[in-house]
Amino acid sequence: MGQVLNFLVCAKRRLMSLKQPASDPAAPHAGYLAYGLPILSGLAFPELRVRNCRDAPQVRIHTGDVAPELEGRTGKGALFETARSRFLLRLDGIARYLVTDGDQIVIDPAPGTDEDSIRLFLLGSVFGALLHQRGLLPLHASAIETARGAVLFAGASGTGKSTLAGAFYRRGYRVVADEICALDGDRVRPAVPRLTLWPDAVEELGLWSDAVRQVRPNIKRFHVPVEPLTAHDPLPVHAIYILSLTNRPDFAVSRLGGVETLQALINHTFRRQFIALESGAGYMSRITAAASTIPISRLVRSPSRSLRETADLLERDFTR
Amino acid sequence: MSGIVWLASWPKSGNTWVRIFIANLLGGDQSPAEINSVDLSRQRANNIQMFDDAAGVEASDLSEEEIDRFRPSVFRHLAENSRETLFFKVHDAYTLLPDGEPVFPADATTGAVYILRNPLDVAISFAHYSARSVDRSIEVLASGYCDPRKPAIGMLTQRLLPWSEHVLSWCDGAPFPVHLVRYEDLHERPLEAFSALARFCGLPSDAASVDRAIRHSSFETLQAQERERGFVEKPEVVSAFFREGRANAWRGVLSDSQVALIVGRHAPVMRRFGYLPL
């Protein structure tokens, strides 16, 4: 029932175009906090903590014209381009995003794009590029707060990172991050207080409520707001678990060593291909530093293992 | 730029066999290629991770229409950035998007190998693989199906036409060279059929290399590897991926009425490719 209601609520949301002149002095700007960064934005972010930062924002977000190509680009993918301290994401029919110097994001929405869609890619890939530009180490991972520090769950899409974080949230742990975990040395910065889940996971975790929202119109994935952490400070990382699935009956946690830890962090870096060519050396030194201080293990499991069994196994391991 | 060679087929027509043969031919090693190697499992046109990495956004944040719209750019990007020919397994039919652009763009393509198997055998193999009854499998061959996105196993949606239309979509519809190879010929005249395939793909096609790659991808070798270490592409519900690997296994398995149903639906294409008369 909650699911049906939620669809209706989402369907009724007003679609609006955001485009305003970049320099419009009347544009309302509000302050937020994510990844430890005070953000001043012309676009409202109901999912972020509000923080008054009019005086000293570290990131500014506004709308404006974004050219379809990046001048002097040194790298590219199918829908993005990179250059020294610049990043362009080009989602035809949705929006173009330009990230500059790790402190500015310009959004150029396509006509008729809704705000949910704009924010979804902004707090995902676009923020990932910004974190790379700032010299942080974003991992494709979720994270929870435990008595011994943050525990991260990294893995490819579909390996259950967010669902596991949700399972621990139900056990009373706080969620530190989902999708993108920004490592700052051997600490992780609290991200956005929410989980992004498929409907069957929301159902399994019993997390349906009026606050659960579709990530964007027509996409049946959901943002589930969670209780934020009590403090905003970066948390020391106690352990990283790499989740992988197998069609064999395996079910075990094993500690990685040596070059495996480097490889694991490289493999699970959030959008490694966003790192500008010129920043490769800095990235490798961050990887090496993290691998030398944070214990990294791998959990291999068959999808037929229940969420409870999986959470039990991990909880035993990280409380040992 | 090099290009993509699509390894296209209806499911259960020998696609994996051909991919493993190509991996062995490319490797040129003294021992058989590992069937669970990352390269083999990644080289699928509907691999979500490959899409996400190339696009820079997650397919799970996109609608089917948006994924379709971005896929040609993803394939172009992959082709532009690879020095070697890319071999991508694909079960989708060759179709056009609503704007008239093909999903599999010609400018990123070197050609396609279309692997064809007698639909009477496909019906049985597909039933085993998908844990369906043979009757249901025959219906799917007749109607086609859309295999929905499966994020948990990293697969984008696959859109299959009915068996006959699927064959024709690639063999008559694609604007680039298509090399047609029959599963049965790979069994009955392996050296000839695999050599022709290797030549089309621009791979080593001398008898010694082809012969070694054929031996390293023999059914017994693949079955032994699966028994020992499993196979990443095996669906959880079935006991083994490499099950029988035989041509013309339908005799004595399909009932007369099941044969009549398949032949009645697919006769023109079966006749054209030598599957009729029975």
A195-232 residue pLDDT tens: 999 999 999 999 999 999 999 999 999 999 999 998 88
Residue ranges per structural domain of chain B: 4-118+146-235
What would the mean pLDDT of A280-304 be, rounded to a whole number?
Answer: 93
The answer to whether the Cβ–Cβ distance between A157 and B74 falls below 8 Å is no
Q: Which two tokens stand for residue B180?
A: 């047609």
Count other Cβ atoms within 10 Å, centred on residue B187: 16
In the predicted structure, residue B63 carries a pLDDT above the cut 90 = yes
Within 205-224 of A, beta carbons closer than 8 Å to B belong to 215-216, 218-219, 221
- Mean pLDDT for B128-135 is 92
Question: Which of B58, B78, B242 to probe by mutation at the A interface, max A CB count within 10 Å?
Answer: B58
Looking at chain A, which residues constitute the CATH 3.40.50 domain(s)? 137-318
The answer to whether the beta carbons of residues B234 and A247 sit under 8 Å apart is yes
Asked if B236 and A92 come within 8 Å (Cβ–Cβ), the reply is no
Tell how strand B145-147 and strand B158-160 pair up.
antiparallel
Distance CA B161, CA B244 (A): 25
Type of residue found at A240? I
Closest CA to A300 of A189, A143, A155, A141: A155
- CATH number of the structural domain B4-118+146-235: 3.40.50.300
Do the chains contact at B57 and A124, CB–CB below 8 Å?
Answer: yes
Chain A residue whose CA is closest to B36: A246
Q: Is the dihedral of CA A106, A109, A114, A120 positive or negative?
A: negative
- Selecting from A78, A91, A247 the residue whose C-beta is nearest the C-beta of B234 gives A247
B259 touches A: beta carbon within 8 Å: no
Is any Cβ of chain B less than 8 angstroms from the Cβ of A110?
Answer: no
Q: Minimal Cα–Cα distance from A304 to chain B, Å?
A: 9
- Top pLDDT among A53 and A66 is at A66
- Residue A11: pLDDT over 50: no
Please give the residue that has the higher pLDDT: either A170 or B154.
Answer: A170
Give yes or no for residue B179 having a pLDDT over 90.
Answer: yes
Nearest CA in chain B to A123: B57
Contacts of A156 in chain B (CB under 8 A): 49, 154
Contacts with A89 from chain B: Cβ below 8 Å: 56-57
Minimal C-alpha gap between B132 and chain A (Å): 20
- Kindly list the strands in the beta sheet with A30-34, ordered across the sheet, starting from the edge strand earlier in the chain: A49-50, A30-34, A37-41, A59-63, A104-109, A95-100, A86-91, A80-83, A75-76
Classify residue A248 by burial, with Cβ atoms within 10 Å: 0-12, 13-18, 19+: middle
pLDDT band at A27 (very low <50, low <70, confident <90, very high): low
Q: A157 and B58 in contact by Cβ < 8 A?
A: yes
CATH number belonging to the domain at A137-318, selected among 1.20.120, 1.20.272, 3.40.50, 3.30.1380? 3.40.50
Cβ-contact B191, B185 below 8 angstroms: no
User: CA dihedral in degrees (A47, A50, A55, A56; nearest 10)?
Assistant: -60
Q: How many CB atoms lie within 10 A of CB A6?
A: 20
The answer, for A80 touching chain B at a CB cutoff of 8 Å, is yes
Minimum CA–CA partner of B67 in chain A: A91
> What ipTM score was computed for the predicted complex, to two decimals?
0.88
Q: Is B63's Cβ below 8 Å from some Cβ in A?
A: yes
From the CA atom positions of chain A, what is the Rg in Å? 19
Question: What is the residue whose two structure tokens read 């974080």?
Answer: A165
**N-term to C-term CA, chain B:** 45
Q: Kindly state the average pLDDT of the residues A220-246.
A: 94
Q: Which residues of A touch B157 (CB under 8 A)?
A: none
CB-based contact B62 A219, cutoff 8 Å: yes
Cis peptide before B98 (omega within 30 of 0): no
| B14-60 tens-digit pLDDT | 999 999 999 999 887 788 888 877 566 668 999 999 999 999 999 99
Is the per-residue pLDDT at B219 higher than 90?
no
Looking at residue B243, its pLDDT comes to: 81
Of A80, A93, A247, the CB nearest to B66: A93
